[in-house]
Structure 1
Amino acid sequence: MKKLLLLLIILILSACASNADDENSNDGTEDTLTPISVEILMDDQLEVGEHTLQVKVTHNDEPVTEADEVEFEVWQQGQKEESTFVTAEENEEGLYTAEYNFQEDGIYHIQSHVTAKSQHVMPKHQVQVGNPTETDEHEAHEDEDGHDHSHDHSHSNNVDVDFNHQNGESSGQEILNVNISLNDEPLEEGRVRFEIKPDDDEHPVWADAEETESGVYTSEVELDAETSYTVTVHIENDDGLHEHEDFQFETE
């Protein structure tokens, strides 16, 4: 009788431990499927001199602390190949900052590179420093009209799109995620496709996305490592919605 009772206790404890492991595993999966939100907190106009670059990182509306990596890439209009990287430090929960000296007038682009919760997000922000030339302003305007949307968030016709990507389990595998809302409500039962094109190749890769939770669409694709891509997110639904937004990302 005692042996039978002991066996029952062991079986119950084993079942509890297994359930706990499953819950922990599911929590990790939910973390990677729910996109992190990255927002650059900068004014649109600055004076020449040193300024604080700031980015806010959240996940499920909670601040992300101890991100794996946060960097700012800064370059002047038309000089992307001469960009400068500065490492950000966590100043308070979810807020990462770095100092940068804008040495002359012009249009500058600030792009944050944030790696956290197995995701990599690269929003971009444009600032006017001092009194830029008319040529700088004209080129910056052309960039905006030319779909240079390398940030992770876009807004069009009451459609909000948050994009991020993360490494998959195997080499070359990338997981693409978009969080889509229409009129401030999650877009459910939409048809979402990713058109993925390497910057040095005209032939895109197409991938259908699956709705993994309300308004969140995900797809796994095989891509080359250390390559820059432009992804066009095509969004449709049965009510006649047809939107597309462009983003840029890099594989590791």
Structure 2
Amino acid sequence: MATFTLAGFMEQRWTGERSELIDLAGEQVLVEDRFETSGGTSIARLGWAQRVFRQRLAVGVSVGAYVGRLEQSFDRTLDSLSIGDRVRPFSELSEWRYSGYTLAAGISADPHDLIHLAAAVEWSGDITETPRPGTEGAANTYSVPLRLSGGGTVQLTPRFQLNGSIAWQDWSSATGFPDGVASHLKFTYGGGLEWRAIQQETRSVPLRFGYRRVVPPFRYHRYDPIETVWSAGVGFNIVELAAIRFGWIDLAAEYGTRDSHPLSERFWRGTVSLGISRF
């Protein structure tokens, strides 16, 4: 079975504002600074999977490329009532492009008709950050640590199943980042329920509810971040034969929190996934 996927990897979308008084020609002037970052990286993958050993075991491999870009802007405005038109506002825009590659291999097994297990290992080369024309600065490289993951699904009834997963990745060993930025936490885990509200011979509509605890790779000062997410979603398995999906659309809404003392935030997030596969 051949697959193609495109998924987000590291999103960098944030805005920060700061106000302060600075000394300008012996006069205290109010300055307002605005920092804005938009963009990030995604991974485009091509994969192949094959069932072996009486159709109860499957192995797969994939090759992927990191793609994406980043825009960073800095704007400074000064109190015109204090300085008039003697000093003009200042703006600076930087643009960067990301590239790199990744390889992955996985295995899945059905030891029982009601139990499905899977595991995967993912290795990545360095991510290269290259300035686009008009942006000053040299190219940077960042390493991505090895990632190990595993999970399982238990079929409780013909329409109801329980699943769980865990992943390990040690970002504290990554290179290219400033000292003290990478998190020392390593484990991400989660679980969920799926109920097939509509089940036909070649189509199904599953409803999903889940929870996961995610360890973001970077922290603020000395405190490792933790992201907690609750999610609900619906899937549309357009073509499905023998529990194998050949075409599908998944929609999900998530509510979560991120904490890295003293910073914390709450967020809502929506995701749309499209999939096509063929033998």
Alignment TM class, shorter chain as reference: under 0.3
Q: Write 1 or 2 for the structure with the bigger share of strand.
A: 2
With structure 2 as the length reference, what TM-score do the two structures score?
Answer: 0.26
Larger Rg: 2
* Structure with the largest fraction of helix: 1
* TM-score, scaled to structure 1: 0.28
Q: Which has the higher contact order (CA 8 A, sep 6+)?
A: 1
